Structure 1
């Protein structure tokens, strides 16, 4: 259930406001990915150090909200579930940033779009949800598209290309744990535990390479990436608070051309034709699954 927007968002209307917020979030993440790739590939900043500072800065921007809701939200009967969820989110973040240090943006962002299919697979295994023929068809088509983008049979294949796939899998696990925990946990509890636990875990992982932040160009870029991460997360949360998730999903897919365009402009990463074929298969599978699930929901409601 979505809330009625207020202020500027009320003037625009929930549908238009939600779409604009999702597009803005996608644009912000495209910039974040380009900045991440620059400081890891060109400046040699270790990916674990970057992950710590990026999300620590985002946490600082969220600190007032955490303080306001923290004491009330700390009550929980599922501490181990919170720890598992944070562990999955942390591994996903580490794999994603490590992947951006080695593979082109277009390939990373296309492969991260496999996450909904991992969610569909896990829904049957973890949540015991019914796995319909339509879901299996969408999962198969999506993974075939992913294989075309990976091209493990090609001489250009790199093991680092599997990092975004791993990130997609662990972020899917995070989503599945979140959905399961909503049965007993409040949204405040889920948010506070994620923010409070993610930073120290990233800190521990970054200790091996050192956490000292350069005060020069690379440090400034890392700081900017952290600020933009906080803004992008807010834009997504705001979008989902005023518009339906099913309606917003197609606008989230616009992150692919946005990232490709920035990758070409900033690094000269021109994707091959196989990327567009694989991405088309992933998008087609996503929209097919979305249409089938919406139709099923409408029939159930009727």
Structure 2
């Protein structure tokens, strides 16, 4: 999880570096393209059977939502300070909690709803609507987080029957196709430096995604979630030295509130999951 968070941070930095020449939408296309290339070795492990699924329609639908989220997120990374863009992306678990209730029928009780509300207070602190330095880019970053929450819900649904590597490979492949129409109107061929950044963005993104899924498979969400926020100090450090960006007090406070809210939500979900497993084991022992 630590490696995943650091690599996601590196990916964000390479996106900003590539934006010196390329539009955010073209960067999203190349990130998808090279991300797919880096994911192809999964076929060596599983073979073409990895593409066999009866849920192609669902994959296409979730990838359409996912590519809009990616385009909006990349645009925000290019037009916002890195720390602010990443901090707002941490609101995704808040939207996931809401979506789990609406689409998966999960039961969320008062304490988790309170954590979600506190998390959105942190979002308001960062965005500061009405302030002199308010930017529409912050709302686009928030939209990207909300759509990313929808994608996370779809992954929960797919993971019930689909192999995690199949989800990564099929999703990345569809993103290449769906990202191209947005990239064509702003297309220009990358120079040598930009080629380096977009290739690294694809590699960092895919490897980080694979590490993330395996971390969640091996460990508890409540223990791993705090480690995922190590992405923030990475982008703060690179933002300072490469782009002369300093963390403002409002982004720092808001990010802290959102992180604490997410950690609590993950902790509660893990505790509830353990209770469900315990209750099932007790029931099984009783019936036998």
Confirm or deny a common fold (TM above 0.5): yes
In structure 2, what is the equivalent of residue 268 of structure 1?
Answer: 244
User: 1:188 and 1:256, CA in 2 relative to 1: closer, same or farther beyond 3 A?
Assistant: closer
**Structure 2 spans left out of the alignment, 5+ residues:** 280-288
* CA–CA separation in structure 2 for the residues paired with 1:249 and 1:138: 15
Counterpart CA distance in 2 for 1:59 and 1:193 is 9
For the pair 1:31 / 2:10, whether they are aligned, the reply is yes
Q: Given the superposition, is the C-alpha separation of residues 75 and 25 from structure 1 closer, same or farther in structure 2, using an over 3 Å criterion?
A: closer
1:52 deviates by 0.8
1:119 & 1:176 partners in 2: Cα distance? 6
Aligned with 2:186: secondary structure? coil
Show CA shifts across 1:14-59 (max 9, x none): xxxxxxxx2222222222212211322xx23111111111221121
Distance in 2 separating the partners of 1:239 and 1:27: 14
Q: TM-score, normalised by structure 2?
A: 0.89
Residue matched to 1:201: 178
Question: Could you tell me how far 1:229 is from its partner in structure 2?
Answer: 2.3
The unaligned stretches of length 5 or more in structure 1 are 1-21
- 1:159-181 CA-to-partner distances (Å, cap 9, x unmatched) read 01112211111111111011123
TM-score of the superposed pair, with normalisation by structure 1: 0.85
SS in 2 for 1:207: helix
Q: Is the 8 A contact 2:221 2:267 kept in 1?
A: no
Match of 2:155 in 1: 178
- Evaluate the alpha carbon distance shift between residue 232 and residue 272 of structure 1 in structure 2; reply closer, same or farther with a 3 A threshold: same
Deviation at 1:73, TM superposition (A): 3.0
- Give the deviation of 1:116 after TM superposition: 0.3
Distance 1:149-1:276 versus aligned 2 partners, 3 A rule:
same
Please show how residues 153-302 of structure 1 align to structure 2 within 5 Å.
153-210=130-187, 212-300=188-276, 301=278
The Cα of 1:250 is off from its aligned counterpart by 1.1
